Structure 1
Amino acid sequence: MVGPTASLSPLVRADGSASYQCPSTGSNILGSVNAPVELPGRRDALKPEDATVEVFVKPGTAPASVGERYVEGIIRGVVGRLILGRERGYQRRGVVITLAIVGGENVSRGDSYLTLLPALLHTALLALLSASVPLSMTFSATVLSVDAAGKITREPSAEDAAAAKSLHVLAFSSKGHLLLNESQGAFDFDTWERVRERASAICHGTSVGEDGDVAMVESADGQPLEGTIRETVEDQVHRDYSWKIDAA
């Protein structure tokens, strides 16, 4: 299948920015990060020895609602565990992440945001890397749907997600740990275990068995998402230092 495309630093007035497009779900996200910054009017909420993370999700054609607030909380929880907010210059200051849905399928009021969640998470991560915010690790995420027959579909469209029996978003850290598990619908543990193995293969190209052994997985899912994130950063570094490479 056609993989996602991403780029770093498309915006010039932000400390860091990224764009992320996933053809299979139709999502197109533009993100920016400003950090470290002062948070006016929020001094009572600032952490004395850590950074305060703020996340804003902006839908393309409608005002923000409960769905955006819900997914903002999920993203804040994930990136908040990765940001090294105790580094010098980040205490009592803010990391502000803004994610705008600029194209593709928009989520209607009352619909599930899980189909867009991996793209939002990846955009936030790449924007943080673009802004040189210190992180303890990176991650990759994917969304899977399970139909009534038990078939697992990677990155389902809005129509497929609406007809699915259950939806699952899983994120794995670069160290192989399960970082996020958001599910909705009816499913049993065996179904979730199959979903976890497929998600691990999509994100890392590996699957962890019950005995803890890690095995390489050959599938039609293409390059692991972890590789896509890495290549996006490597391409940006190469562009930034191409003058030095040419001079050498």
Structure 2
Amino acid sequence: MQKDQSLTRRRALLAGAAAVGAVGTAGALAVGLGDGPTRPVAPAPGPPAHRPLRPSAYRLQPLTGYDAPGATPRRPPVRSEPILRMSGRGRTMLLTFDDGPDPRYTPDILDTLAKYDVRATFFVCGEMVDYHKDLLSRMADEGHVVGNHTWSHPLLTGLTRRRIRSEMERTSEVVEQAYGEPPRWFRAPYGAWNRATFQLGAELGMEPLAWTVDTLDWTTPGTGTIVDRVEDGAAPGVVVLSHDAGGDRSQSVRALRAYLPELLDSGYHLTVPRRRNV
């Protein structure tokens, strides 16, 4: 718990910088401000209920595909922008959860997913995994995908290339120990990407995955608002961003219990990303 609190304090210090936006050199992208788990100031209120959710700063094209389960992909290409949407047939969506695992909230999220036989993607921080490896073992047993969200959730665009590699590499190592295989997906903290993050991620065998619908649950806007944002933003190929750690995530837990059965009743298939084996 002491380590968890230390992580939260560090993120709060970084969040102010992230809000201004991280501007990279050639090949860099604008920051997606939704991936800020904690903030040092009072958050702005969320949009009114039943109002369509405006996605984060990304406006990218679908890039993901699928391979056979268990297939070993070749080294991924070095991209110049993160993947935002998934391609595939039908009403298919991805649910993703950042910053965990956290023993206060992650088990409840896993319980809800298990109740409806749904798989999700968890972008984990290495130092959280180091203290809660059992939760990654459960994710593996239940068929969820685990991605790399760095070791300590820093603003990568302000770090040296060596530090970025260390943040990624240490996390991939601890994920492999706890989950059984290294992560194939990476998400930059605060959605702050630059050329180094794309290059190093590819070197470590990972694809960069962003999001389409940002629940902004880190602002604790209320359970109903989170539910409305997910349901209003639902569409084929959408990737939903939520959090299972980094602060009080009880609203995120309750929201999942409400919107998950609604999405399923509406005909959506909630799945996990798979890379093309090319």
What is the TM-score when the length of structure 2 is the normalising length? 0.25
What is the TM-score when the length of structure 1 is the normalising length? 0.28
Between Structure 1 and Structure 2, whose CA radius of gyration is higher?
1
Kindly indicate which of the two structures has a greater share of residues assigned to strand.
Answer: 1
Kindly indicate which of the two structures has a greater share of residues assigned to helix.
Answer: 2
